[in-house]
Chains A and B, each alone.
Chain A
Amino acid sequence: MISIIVKKEITDLMRDKRFWIIATVLSLLSGLACLTAWQSNARTNAERMAAQQMSRDGWLNQPPKNPHTAAHFGNFAFRLKTSLSMFDNGLDSYTGTSVFLEPHKQDDFKFSQAEDATSIIRFGELTPAFVLQCIPPLLIVFVCFNAVSVEKENSTIKLLLSQGTSVPQLVAGKIVGYWLVVSLLIMPVFVAVFLMMPPPVHATRGDTGVRFVLLLVNYLLYAGIVITACVVVSAFSQTSRSALIKLLGLWMLACVVVPKVTSNLGSTIYQTPSQYAYAKLVKHDEANGLDGHDPADARRAVLLRQLLTRYQVDTVTALPVNFDAIAMVESERYTTQIYRKRLGEVRSIFNRQNRISQFATFLNPFQTVQYTSMALCGTDYAQFTYFQDQAERYRLYFVNTMNEFMATHTKSGDWKTKFGQEVYRHIRPFNYREPAAGWAIGQQGPAFIALMSWLLVCFVLVKATKRVRIL
């Protein structure tokens, strides 16, 4: 019986003019989104790769210098876009594009694309993800609002039920029918993205394919959840008009109001520190030590004593190594701990701010798909911090390599001996490696659990339709 209902729904939908109009709009917008995202992705990556190369060339072509001074030339780490960011840009426009890596300090990411944009950016950016998150739910509302209610209004439901069908079966059949048709609209978008998707520009774990398939499943499930909600609301509504108003209200709340409220609530409750306050704390820690009772001079004196004992000499000049360079290596380790602590505090505030939205994924499927989609495309906050951490590790690596070279190849007080490209070449270029899909999913655990919970809710909702009153 269900299969007959499915076939009937598909035929009805294919004959529905509204469906074709919306399908055309959806296709046009998706096509435009794919084209612009592809163009923008390609240009941005080309520009950033060129800038990364420029930075590398600058590093290698420095005139001979003392290794620590050479480290001060610094390196930039540019954040290249992932292949799937063409599908979902996520936070990429807001996270900054590059960070300057230099001795002694950890810099911030600069040059976010949003900084250069006019206020129009706050309306959203046209990406395939944006189109698939916002338009299909409305399309589904348009075609499903009277799925069951019209049968009630025309009294055809009694005929259907007299054939031995139960309301849950009827509802399930309609859901499957609509879902198959809507899936047919979603699939071409993914085919287009698959064909246009650029190859990865940085090292991956070879799981872009897995991410892509999961992304497709994610959106198909999202469509299924929305369809179920619409058909169930239609079943419980006495008239099509009341079903439509309820569904439009739900759509507005889910797609427009709740995401903003939850996100804004987070920042209202947990205040972000100012850049100045953050810098002040770091400066204070550097001067007084992490515990506030370990001043920089004292740390340096302890290190000197340890080295003199280790090499069994009495003076700095008698050391076989450059004490200044060793002190800088130690200082770098110490300041890294400071930055880790302070940055950790900022991240913890951000995570608390984001947690409200993350848990709202259990209430709002729109937010569920937003989070899961960003995670799979590598454009969420967790993967931004993953990049930030890799850039920081690279900073430590190149700065300490240069300091250690200076420590072992010069003597204390020697800041004049210079080394050239032979030393600069020791430093390998910065290469970012994307995290594994499993890690990315784990970081957005609540959202993926919410997605699964929504499926369960759908089954419960369909079962609950046996309570629908047929007058």
Chain B
Amino acid sequence: MKANSTVTLLRFDWLQLKRSHAFWQLTALLLVISGYAAFYGRTEVEQQQQKIDLLKHDIDSSMRVVSLELQKRDTTAAWHYDDFLFSLHANRPDGTAALAFGQRDLHKFAVSITTGTYFYNKYATGYENKTLSGEIANPQKQLAGHLDTSFVLVFLLPLYFILISYNLLSSEKEGGTLLLLAGQAVSIPGFMLTKLALRWLIGAVLGTLIILAAATITQAAFDYRLFCMVLATWLYVGCWAGITAVVTAFHRSSGFNALSLVSAWLLFCLAIPATLTALLNVVYPVDAKAQLTAAVQKANARVFATPKPLLASTFYQQYPLYNNIPRDTFPNGWYNPRWVRAMHLLLDKEVKPYDARYHAQLAQRIRSTDGLDYCSPAVLAQSIFNRTAASDMQQMLAYDTATYHHFALWRDYLDEKIFLHQNTLTKKEFERLPQYHFTPVIDYTQINRRLVALGLVTLSLFASSYGMMKRPLFRKMI
């Protein structure tokens, strides 16, 4: 097909689309929903940020009190019966997270780091530190999921694409113009691909506009991450263009095409992912949870009930570094910082292997399910968006692991003062309290791999459709 004819066809097709009320109505509807999605994403991010800020404000106030106290006296207690030294550990969402909120609502995002038992607070009681136990969330809302920009792009944009492209050739056939076209110096596959290219362009431009508008509304950084999202959108729309090309190549009625394409949407966007989730629950159960709860409960009871002399000898055997008082038996009950810290350390040490097992199972599950992203273009696209926005499960797990590291840093620093410096913390030491900021590390290799996969799927779909249209049977059908 000559370049001139292609341009003419594109112009004519665009004119036809421009005159269609349905096209503008659909576009308007998609844009309205996209606007709401951007607003929703921004609200969710703001709400999380407000919650983090509230915790930060209270932690700062508490630390300011200590700082003022240290202005008057040079030392303070490293451990007090009521905790008063805190550090914030937050997984702060940014503007990009508003575009794909992912798993952020299912996990904690703001923890107040302090001394105490980490695992007992996290898995059982939360008595001393409720921020470790997780966030309050409405399960009904969690079930519904997010109507954020990624939802618009992964679920609604393909539907929009289907509705503007289901009758590429069938409308010509039903209108009696296909034979006329076949008589011209235009190849039918070329004609179909030109029309499809225009629709792909419309979908890709619309997707890009949606992302850019959302990024502006949510104040996301215009960086490589946003570029990845735009590229993923182009490829994803390309993928749906490929599916449309294959369906069109069957050369059936508009009704058949519409039904087949919506079925494909149902298959890729709902049926396959839902089936995978069900199979995952069967094949990779996380059964270490029950053991973990029992271990936490037993360890707490055992440590708490251990007579002080026995606890002291067990503790000093395991932590010889802190054994600087000969024949120490932890006298004076709750007000003896060494006893309290020894109990917490022993408890956490006992539970740690169970926690490690649970996390290993979880990590194994995530690793094993990584490959399942490739089962559906929708899952693949969603995975790219979530990874780019750092709101995928890996990041949640990384934050959880980092929380423990922060806690361990904090604990070791203060325990050294408690055990080896008579529970005193000087002004200088206070100023050097360990700080740890969680910064998500985005795995671009995984993202790029998925982008390439989307591109390959698109190419193979187009190749198949082109092959189908080159067959004599197709020509016969015309």
Contacts and interface: CB of A to CB of B under 8 A. Distances in A.
Contacts of A353: 138, 140-141
Interface in B53-112: 54-55, 58, 102-103, 106-108, 110, 112
Given A115-B106, A275-B135, A381-B140, A245 B393 contact: no
B301 to A, nearest CB: 4
How many residues of B sit at the interface, in one of the four size bands? Answer: 35 or more
Given A121-B277, A123-B379, A276-B51, A94 B146 contact: no
B184 interface: no
Interface residues of A, number: 98
A330 interface: no
B402 interface: no
Contact of A47 (B146, B287, B372): B287
A108 B55 CA distance: 19
A364 B441 CA distance: 42
Nearest to B296: A100
B386 A119 contact: yes
Given A107-B124, A264-B144, A279-B130, A127 B138 contact: no
Tell me whether chain A's interface is mostly helix, strand or loop, or mixed.
helix
B143 interface: yes
B203 to A, nearest CB: 16
Q: Which of B22, B145, B379 has the most CB of A within 10 A?
A: B145
A274 B55 contact: yes
Contact of B301 (A62, A107, A273): A62
Interface stretch (A48-56, A294-302, A426-434): A48-56
Contacts of A146: 255
A120 B297 contact: no
A94 B143 contact: yes
B298 A260 contact: no
A120 B372 contact: yes
Contacts of B274: 123-126, 130
A32 B106 contact: no
Q: Give the most central of B22, B102, B139, B155: most A CB within 10 Å.
A: B139
Interface string A65-91: 100010011101000000000000011
A1 interface: no
A248 B262 contact: yes
A276 B125 contact: no
Interface string B303-337: 01100000000000000000000000000000000
B369 A120 contact: yes
Contacts of B378: 123
Given A275-B108, A275-B131, A114 B142 contact: yes
A55 B140 contact: no
A313 to B, nearest CB: 28
A58 B259 contact: no
Interface stretch (A251-259, A332-340, A463-471): A251-259
B365 interface: yes
Interface in B265-317: 266, 269-271, 273-282, 285-287, 289-290, 293-294, 297-298, 300-301, 304-305
Contacts of A268: 39-40, 43
A118 B259 contact: no
A107 B144 contact: no
A188 interface: no
A56 B58 CA distance: 39
A74 B133 contact: no
A404 interface: no
A113 B139 CA distance: 12
A134 interface: yes
Given A36-B282, A108-B126, A127-B278, A267 B163 contact: no
Given A118-B392, A244-B255, A274-B54, A357 B137 contact: no
B294 A264 contact: no
A26 to B, nearest CB: 10
Contact of B278 (A122, A125, A349): A125
A115 B141 contact: no
Interface string A32-51: 11001101100100011011
B442 interface: no
B54 A100 contact: no
A127 to B, nearest CB: 7
Contacts of B55: 274, 276
A50 B259 contact: no
A165 interface: no
A264 B278 contact: no
Contacts of B365: 116, 118
* Residue picked from A18, A91, A263, most chain B C-beta under 10 Å: A263
Nearest to A253: B29
Contacts of B44: 267
A384 interface: yes
Q: Chain B CB within 10 Å — which of A119, A124, A138, A273 has the most?
A: A119
B130 A276 contact: yes
B140 A54 contact: no
A102 interface: yes
Given A32-B275, A248-B258, A280-B58, 10 more contacts: A36-B278, A51-B290, A58-B298, A65-B305, A118-B365, A125-B274, A145-B255, A259-B144, A260-B147, A346-B136
11 contacts: A29-B275, A73-B301, A94-B142, A112-B106, A116-B365, A120-B273, A260-B146, A264-B40, A264-B147, A280-B58, A354-B138
Closest 4 interchain pairs by CB?
A: A123-B273, A263-B144, A51-B290, A274-B51
Interface of B: 22, 33, 36, 39-40, 43-44, 47, 51, 54-55, 58, 102-103, 106-108, 110, 112, 123-127, 130-131, 133-147, 151, 155-156, 159, 163, 254-255, 258-259, 262-263, 266, 269-271, 273-282, 285-287, 289-290, 293-294, 297-298, 300-301, 304-305, 362, 365-366, 369, 372-373, 378-379, 382-383, 386, 392-393
